[in-house]
Amino acid sequence: MQTPRDLLTQLWTSVGADPAALARVTLSGDEPQLPSSFRVDAAAQVSIAASALAAAEIWTMRSGQAQDVSVDMRNAAVECRSERYLRKDGEPPPPMWDPIAGVYQVKGGRYVRLHTNFPHHRDAVCKVLNCDATREAVQAALLQWDGEAFETAAYAAGGVVALMRSRDEWQALPQAAALAALPLVEITRIGEAAPKPWPVGDRPLAGLRVLDLSRVIAGPVAGRTLAAHGADVMLVSSPKLPSIPWLVIDTGRGKLSSYADLTTPEGHAALRELLSEADIFSQGYRPRSLAALGFSPDEAAAINPGIVYVSLAAYGRSGPWAERRGFDSLVQCATGFNAAEGQAAGVAGPKELPMQILDHATGYLMAFGAMIAKARQAREGGSWHVQVSLARTGQWLWEMGRLADGLATPEISAEAAAPFRAEMPSGFGTLTAVKHAAQLSATPAFWARPAVPLGSDPAQWPTRG
């Protein structure tokens, strides 16, 4: 079984980064930190460490000053479920799941998982089932369905669901084969451009402009991470799109937030103007969704040569499921994690991992890839495309191996997480929120801007310097 340092070395060198930089990284703490048969804590520590080391390397490029990076595993595990430990004016989070979200049985004793936090996803499920939006009605209707037939019908109707599969069942699908052919973090050159000089600044990403078009966890965590190292991150959302308020608060730290409805000429023009002056464009829309609006990777590179374009998908960029919507909980269910964790725990049916690690780790991998690509741009020029997916991150986690007694580990309570949290002001009240787990010796990570409600800022970049 590879150690966390082995895993970091493999990840770091997979994108062509300088192996000598790894000597400046300290990884502390032991597995397991949270109850799981999977190495979720290692995935947390390694993904955070990779992003922090990329920031440190950029600082070396900008200043000539090398620095040390350290990541404690317990802090990393806490940060990879930061939404659970967030407090607003001392109050814990409200229920984050819609009343009918969750696990249900279908014909033959199998299980499906529904993600209905957004109203249009809930409506799609109820339309397919022809039932009321209550758990009782949904369960009664689902018992009449074959699980795979329901999964297919729900996706066709715009819903987001997953049939619980074993690992072997997932591996037998064409999508698993397509996914296996992809690197964990894929970085490709997509256009020609001159190298862009680094702006003036006293932090690794100071003066860099990041457009964040994402919701929920993975993409927003990427933006939050880039902000922690000094980037000007602009979260762009539409007033027409639903959101999960608690996640907006937790992942909004360090960001500006503006509205732009891309279906209107005004919103389209606003995003195009922001893009023309950005350094990184990070987005979590389904493949081809932004292309239909004129913001594909190639189009973005034409608008702004030298852009680093970051794409997040649920199930990977190729294969029959490439277009499928997906969230961490569903990818866990579809790819075998819930079945395997349930079996390890000796329970009938699915068991979730102790954090949404596919989301969180993928967010840090997005930030890592964005910084590696930006460093390449500064050295070589060009426009770059970074691609990651929740399911590919899941494959990485599977490949790490299992922990025989991991499920016997106690939970990390809010009290036990206290050393890793700090109070900070926000546009929502006083927050007690998880600090960034990566410690950098010369440029400490922090969020210079408070979390603010969606649409609080004009759709324009602050002045550099």
CB of 82 closer than 8 Å to CB of 447: no
Token duo for residue 443: 């440029």
Structure tokens at 184: 């964990």
List, in sequence order, every beta strand (DSSP E) within 32-132.
69-72, 87-88, 102-105, 111-114
Q: How far is CA 302 from the centre of its chain?
A: 27
Instruction: For residue 422, give the amino acid letter.
Output: A
| DSSP assignment letter at 271 | H
- Count of other CB atoms within 10 angstroms of residue 79: 28
Query: Using an 8 Å Cβ cutoff, are 403 and 31 in contact?
Result: yes
Q: Does residue 184 contact residue 392 with C-beta atoms inside 8 Å?
A: yes
Question: CA-CA distances (angstroms) from residue 161 to 46, 149, 208, 223?
Answer: 29, 11, 37, 26
d(CA 25, CA 17): 14
Q: What is the pLDDT along the chain (465 residues), one digit of tens a residue?
A: 999 999 999 999 999 999 999 999 999 999 999 999 999 999 999 999 999 999 999 999 999 999 999 999 999 999 999 999 999 999 998 888 889 999 999 999 999 999 988 899 999 999 999 999 999 999 999 999 999 999 999 999 999 999 999 999 999 999 999 999 999 999 999 999 999 999 999 999 999 999 999 989 999 999 999 999 999 999 999 998 888 899 999 999 999 999 999 999 999 999 999 999 999 999 998 767 888 999 999 999 999 999 999 999 999 999 999 989 889 999 999 999 999 999 999 998 999 999 999 999 999 999 999 999 999 999 999 999 999 999 999 999 999 999 999 999 999 998 999 999 999 999 999 999 999 999 999 999 999 999 999 999 999 999 876
| Cα separation, 273 vs 281, whole angstroms | 12
Q: How far apart are CA 394 and CA 391, in angstroms?
A: 5
Q: What is the pTM of this model?
A: 0.97
Work out the number of other CB atoms within 10 angstroms of the CB of residue 157. Answer: 16
Tokens for 8, please give them: 């970091």
4-44 pLDDT, tens per residue? 999 999 999 999 999 999 999 999 999 999 999 999 999 99
Q: What are the φ/ψ torsions at residue 51 (nearest 5 degrees)? A: -65, -40
* Residue for token pair 């909004």: 252
Amino acid at 212: D
Residue written as tokens 């000598």? 20
Q: Rounded to the nearest 5°, which phi and psi values hold at 38? A: -100, 160
First to last CA, the chain: 47
Q: Are 71 and 436 a contacting pair, CB within 8 Å?
A: no
pLDDT in tens, 377-394: 999 999 999 999 999 999
Question: Phi and psi of 254, rounded to 5°?
Answer: 90, -5
Tokens of 161: 């669901």
